[in-house]
Chain A
Amino acid sequence: MKYILMMNTMRAGAGVPAWPKADLRAHIDFMHNVNRELHEAGEWVSAEGLSFPDQARLVKAGRDGVSVTDGVFPESKEFLAGFWIVDVESPERAYAIAARISTAPGPGGAPLNMPIEVRPIMSAPPQEML
Chain B
Amino acid sequence: MTEAANTAPWDAASEHLLRKLAPQVLGVVARRFRDFSSAEDAVQEAMLAAFKQWPQEGVPENPRGWLIRVAIRRMTDIARSEIARRLRETAVTPREEPMIEPSEMESDMDPEDTRVLLFMCCHPALSTSSAIALTLRAVGGLTTAEIANAFLVPEATMAQRISRAKQSIKASKVPFRMPIPQERRERLPAVLHVLYLIFSEGYVSSIGAHLQRLDLACEAIRLTRGARALLPEDAEIAGLLALMLLTNARRNARTGPNEELVPLDKQDRSLWDRAEIAEGTNLLTLALSQGAVGLYQLQAAIAAVHDEATRAEDTDWPQILALYELLQRVSPSPMVTLNHAIAVAMVHGPERGLERLQTLDKDERLAGHFRLDAVRGHLFEKLGDLEKAVQHYRAAATRTTSLPEQNYLMAQAARLDEAREQPNHDSSEPKLRPLKTKASKAPH
Q: Which residues of A contact B (CB under 8 A)?
A: 1-2, 39-46, 87, 89, 120-130
Contact yes or no, B402 A42, CB < 8 A: no
Partner of B403 from the list A43, A122, A129 (CB cut-off 8 Å) is A122
Using C-beta atoms within 8 Å of the partner chain, give the interface range for chain B: 35 or more
Contact yes or no, A124 B207, CB < 8 A: yes
- Does B401 make an interface contact (CB < 8 A)? yes
CA distance A2 to B401 in the complex (A): 10
Minimum CB distance partner of B206 in chain A: A124
CA distance A100 to B197 in the complex (A): 30
Q: Which residues of A are found within 8 Å of B335, using beta-carbon distances? A: 128-130
A37 smallest CB distance to B (angstroms):
11
Minimum CB distance partner of A39 in chain B: B160
Q: Which residues of B are found within 8 Å of A46, using beta-carbon distances? A: 154
B131 smallest CB distance to A (angstroms):
11
Q: Which residues of B are found within 8 Å of A39, using beta-carbon distances? A: 156-157, 160
CA distance A124 to B261 in the complex (A): 11
Q: Which residues of A are found within 8 Å of B442, using beta-carbon distances? A: 129
CA distance A130 to B196 in the complex (A): 11
Contact yes or no, B203 A127, CB < 8 A: yes
- Does B336 make an interface contact (CB < 8 A)? yes
Contact yes or no, A129 B443, CB < 8 A: yes
Q: Identify the 10 closest CB pairs spanning chains A and B, nearest first.
A: A42-B161, A127-B200, A125-B402, A124-B204, A42-B160, A124-B205, A120-B401, A122-B403, A129-B335, A129-B442
Partner of A42 from the list B158, B197, B331, B406 (CB cut-off 8 Å) is B158
Contact yes or no, B154 A44, CB < 8 A: yes
B172-211 with Cβ < 8 A to chain A: 197, 200-201, 203-205, 207, 210
Q: Which residues of B are found within 8 Å of A121, using beta-carbon distances? A: 401
Contact yes or no, A127 B201, CB < 8 A: yes
> Which of B35-43, B122-130, B272-280, B311-319 participates in binding chain A?
B122-130
- Does B295 make an interface contact (CB < 8 A)? yes
Minimum CB distance partner of A120 in chain B: B401
**Contacts known (A44-B157, A89-B129, A122-B403); A130 close to B164, Cβ less than 8 A:** no
Q: Which residues of A are found within 8 Å of B205, using beta-carbon distances? A: 123-124
B409-435 with Cβ < 8 A to chain A: none
Interface string of B99-133 (1 = CB under 8 A from A): 00000000000000000000000000001111000
A89 smallest CB distance to B (angstroms):
5
- Does B153 make an interface contact (CB < 8 A)? yes
Contact yes or no, A125 B157, CB < 8 A: no
Contact yes or no, B204 A127, CB < 8 A: yes
- Does B438 make an interface contact (CB < 8 A)? yes
- Does B226 make an interface contact (CB < 8 A)? no
A47 smallest CB distance to B (angstroms):
11
Q: Which residues of B are found within 8 Å of A40, using beta-carbon distances? A: 160, 164
CA distance A130 to B335 in the complex (A): 6
Minimum CB distance partner of A125 in chain B: B402
Contact yes or no, A45 B443, CB < 8 A: no
Contact yes or no, B157 A89, CB < 8 A: no
Q: Which residues of A are found within 8 Å of B81, using beta-carbon distances? A: none
B300 smallest CB distance to A (angstroms):
13
Contact yes or no, B295 A130, CB < 8 A: yes
Minimum CB distance partner of B129 in chain A: A89
Contact yes or no, A45 B210, CB < 8 A: no
Contact yes or no, B161 A130, CB < 8 A: no
Minimum CB distance partner of B156 in chain A: A39
- Does B359 make an interface contact (CB < 8 A)? no
Q: Which residues of B are found within 8 Å of A42, using beta-carbon distances? A: 130, 157-164
B299-335 with Cβ < 8 A to chain A: 299, 331, 333, 335
- Does B151 make an interface contact (CB < 8 A)? yes
B74 smallest CB distance to A (angstroms):
23
Partner of B204 from the list A44, A89, A125, A130 (CB cut-off 8 Å) is A125
CA distance A39 to B339 in the complex (A): 39
Q: Which residues of B are found within 8 Å of A45, using beta-carbon distances? A: 152-154, 157
Contact yes or no, A87 B151, CB < 8 A: yes
Contact yes or no, B164 A124, CB < 8 A: no
Minimum CB distance partner of A46 in chain B: B154
Minimum CB distance partner of B331 in chain A: A130
CA distance A1 to B331 in the complex (A): 25
- Does B400 make an interface contact (CB < 8 A)? yes
